[in-house]
Chains A and B, each alone.
Chain A
Amino acid sequence: MASQAATASSPVGTLGLGHPGLVEQVYALGRRAFFRVLRQPAQIIFPFIFPMLLFAVNAAGLDAATKLPGFPADDYRDFALAVPFMQGALFTAINAGTDLARDIETGFLNRLRLTPMHAPALLAGQLGGVILIGVIQAISYIAVGLAIGVDFKCGILGLPVLLALSILISFAFAAIGAFLALKFGTGEAVQGFFPLLFVLVFLSSSSLPRDLIATDWFRTVATYNPVSYLIEGIRSLIIIGWDPEALALGFGTAVALLAVALTAASLALRTRVGQG
């Protein structure tokens, strides 16, 4: 090895080390997270295919629901397109959590801890990279919607708003995934929560508007389930246009969820870093 030292080595103490800035660290870690996901095609393909598959099945099987009095859309596809955004966010949560858990399991987190890394940079970078993938997913869902003739009532100007809400939701769920990883420290634990999160989507207004859910307990659960308001915020842009109340509830719920999840993840990170 020593004989292979073709270039002069930098003497210790002459490297001109500075204090790395938070933004630069976030960028470096985010870039890593982004490329990690890009290099695992399964992390991109399945989060796209699976929601689209469910969307196709639901759109075909539940089309008759549009004939219910008071159903807010003429075409069930318009109504159902909001759900893939939510399911995509769940995949984002699992990807973010699994990647972070792997860093803990392999000792990569310890490697990062030995650098002058700002703790928030780890969370921001990790989540930022995964969210970029979430953006790609959201754009692909919109593209599919446009391709199959979904009428986005919000118009072209509403699409960036839809994208922003989708990103916010992905961010919040990615933070939940990060919290699970930091709390439990294993990929298996993170993946174990996936069915629970998925049930939350089904126990929401994903298939029917809340006021048309006939079963009392289901309607009650859907009313208290924050996922309902996230879906309804996205859905309002597709089937209504500009609904201030739905948008306020959607953005408000997403921000609240993000705040809680980020706080929990930050505390879990502090505990994990503290305990070694």
Chain B
Amino acid sequence: MKTPLNTLSAVEVHRRGIEVQGLVREFKEVTAVAGIDLQVAAGEIYGFLGPNGAGKSTTVLMLTTLLPPTSGRATVGGFDIAREGAKVRGVIGAALQEAALDPLLTGREHVQLQATLQGLPRADRKRRAAELLARVGLTEAADRRVGGYSGGMKRRLDLALALVHGPRILFLDEPTTGLDPQSRTALWEEVSRLARDEGMTVFLTTQYLEEADVLADRVGIIDRGKIVAEGTPAQLKAEVGRPSVEVVPVDPAQADQAHAALQQFGDCGRNGSGGNVTVSLPDGDAQLADVIRALDQADVKLASLNLHAPTLDDVFLAKTGRKLEGSGEPGSDSE
């Protein structure tokens, strides 16, 4: 029996993630989101991958109740985004594409303002602000105005603000765009920790393949307003091909030996004039150790060995006919 949404207990809300059915958003001349369906389980990190203008941010704006859908239905934490906006906002935190911060306020003032507006008891606000600022590594900069923060510091503060009220579901819209590698890795660690240690559901949009690959339990690839592929990163990559190993013997004359040793694993071929041999691995990169052992037993001396695994970019290419990187339409702000 279906539970009426307005009678959900706190436990039930915790169990529910995100459910989207036929969600559409049309602007005057553009259909930004053209009928998407997806489900995100509670505690899952869902990566929403796509180029600029694909419809990622529009989807986030709808799911966070900031933009009404043209049609379709979605529930977040068990609450309908169109009819129960206040309840949705009560269970979510969001760091949107642009870190919406006031350059004239300090980091601490931001967190305390957010805590007040979220209804934290007065006695808890300072403690919560200190705790969150420490968690995102901004304790030392807490009393500096945000106008002087770096891009990475602003992103981290944005994340802290999204967490002030202890949301169950976190929306992150391209959280690492423009960040240096160190800040990016730090943010990934924190997002992973939130899902792992606090059971938080994370809906993360990104245009970075590596980010989706590293962070997401499941990935949805969106292009031109439609989801073109969905699954775990491993499943998606497996759909488009198997990993392969390319070996280059020190002595090109040993190419035949290498070829003979590797044939047992799968399709094997020679390429190039340097004695390169490539073999596909039906069971994935777990066979790599066996490959090395076989070459050693055949007494093949190697100059190099490279493992080629399919990437999410290969998945995007296979599904859309285009490479993901650089496939966004210039000037498209209609996401």
Q: Is A270 an interface residue (CB 8 A)?
A: no
Q: Is the CB of B66 within 8 A of A114?
A: yes
Q: Is A35 an interface residue (CB 8 A)?
A: yes
Q: Is the CB of A106 within 8 A of B101?
A: yes
Q: Which residue of B lies closest to A116 (CB)?
A: B119
Q: Is the CB of B96 within 8 A of A28?
A: no
Q: Which residues of A contact B117 (CB under 8 A)?
A: 20, 25, 28-29, 112, 115-117
CA distance A110 to B117 in the complex (A): 13
Q: Which residues of A contact B113 (CB under 8 A)?
A: 28-29, 32
* A→B interface (CB under 8 Å): 1-20, 24-25, 28-29, 32, 35-36, 39-40, 103, 106-108, 110-117, 274-276
* B→A interface (CB under 8 Å): 10, 14, 61, 64-68, 86, 89-90, 92-94, 96, 98, 100-102, 104-105, 109, 113-114, 116-121, 124, 128, 130-131, 134-137, 139, 145, 156, 161, 165-168, 186-187, 189-190, 192-193, 198-200
Besides A2-B193, A17-B120, A115-B117, 13 more A-B contacts (Cβ < 8 Å) are: A9-B135, A12-B200, A16-B124, A18-B121, A24-B116, A28-B113, A29-B113, A35-B104, A107-B100, A111-B114, A114-B92, A116-B119, A276-B61
Q: How far is the CB of B170 from chain A (nearest CB, A)?
A: 10
Q: How far is the CB of B120 from chain A (nearest CB, A)?
A: 6
Q: Which residues of A contact B61 (CB under 8 A)?
A: 276
- 29 A-B pairs with CB atoms under 8 Å apart are A1-B186, A4-B134, A4-B135, A4-B136, A10-B128, A10-B131, A11-B166, A12-B168, A12-B200, A13-B168, A14-B166, A15-B124, A15-B165, A17-B119, A18-B119, A24-B116, A28-B116, A32-B105, A36-B102, A39-B104, A106-B98, A106-B101, A106-B102, A108-B101, A111-B96, A114-B64, A114-B94, A116-B86, A276-B61
Q: Which residues of A contact B145 (CB under 8 A)?
A: 39
Q: Is the CB of B96 within 8 A of A12?
A: no
Q: Which residues of A contact B161 (CB under 8 A)?
A: 111
How many A-B pairs have beta carbons closer than 8 Å: the answer is: 134
Q: Which residues of A contact B134 (CB under 8 A)?
A: 4-7
Q: Which residue of B lies closest to A17 (CB)?
A: B119
Q: Is the CB of A116 within 8 A of B118?
A: yes
CA distance A8 to B130 in the complex (A): 11
Asked whether A20 and B119 contact (CB < 8 A) given A5-B135, A11-B166, A12-B200, the answer is yes
Secondary structure of the A contact surface, majority rule: loop
CA distance A111 to B121 in the complex (A): 20
Q: Which residues of A contact B199 (CB under 8 A)?
A: 12
**Residue among A1, A28, A276 making CB contact with B135, cutoff 8 Å:** A1
Q: How far is the CB of B147 from chain A (nearest CB, A)?
A: 9
Asked whether A111 and B100 contact (CB < 8 A) given A9-B135, A276-B61, the answer is yes
Q: Which residues of A contact B121 (CB under 8 A)?
A: 16, 18
Q: How far is the CB of B181 from chain A (nearest CB, A)?
A: 14
Q: Which residues of A contact B118 (CB under 8 A)?
A: 17, 20, 115-116
CA distance A1 to B153 in the complex (A): 11
Q: Which residues of B contact A2 (CB under 8 A)?
A: 135, 186, 189-190, 192-193
Q: Which residue of A lies closest to B193 (CB)?
A: A2
Which of A4, A28, A108, A276 is most buried by chain B, counting CB atoms within 10 A of its CB?
A4
- Kindly list the 9 A-B residue pairs having the minimum CB-CB distance in the complex, ordered from nearest: A107-B100, A276-B67, A1-B186, A20-B119, A115-B117, A12-B166, A28-B116, A1-B190, A4-B137
Q: Which residues of B contact A108 (CB under 8 A)?
A: 100-102
Q: How far is the CB of B151 from chain A (nearest CB, A)?
A: 14
CA distance A19 to B165 in the complex (A): 12
Q: How far is the CB of A44 from chain B (nearest CB, A)?
A: 13
Q: Is the CB of B131 within 8 A of A7?
A: yes
CA distance A5 to B102 in the complex (A): 25
CA distance A233 to B189 in the complex (A): 63
Asked whether A116 and B120 contact (CB < 8 A) given A1-B136, A32-B102, the answer is no
Q: Is the CB of A36 within 8 A of B104?
A: yes
Q: Is the CB of A13 within 8 A of B166?
A: yes
Q: Which residue of A lies closest to B85 (CB)?
A: A113
Q: Is the CB of A110 within 8 A of B120?
A: no
Q: Which residues of B contact A106 (CB under 8 A)?
A: 98, 100-102
Q: Is the CB of A20 within 8 A of B116?
A: yes
CA distance A32 to B145 in the complex (A): 13
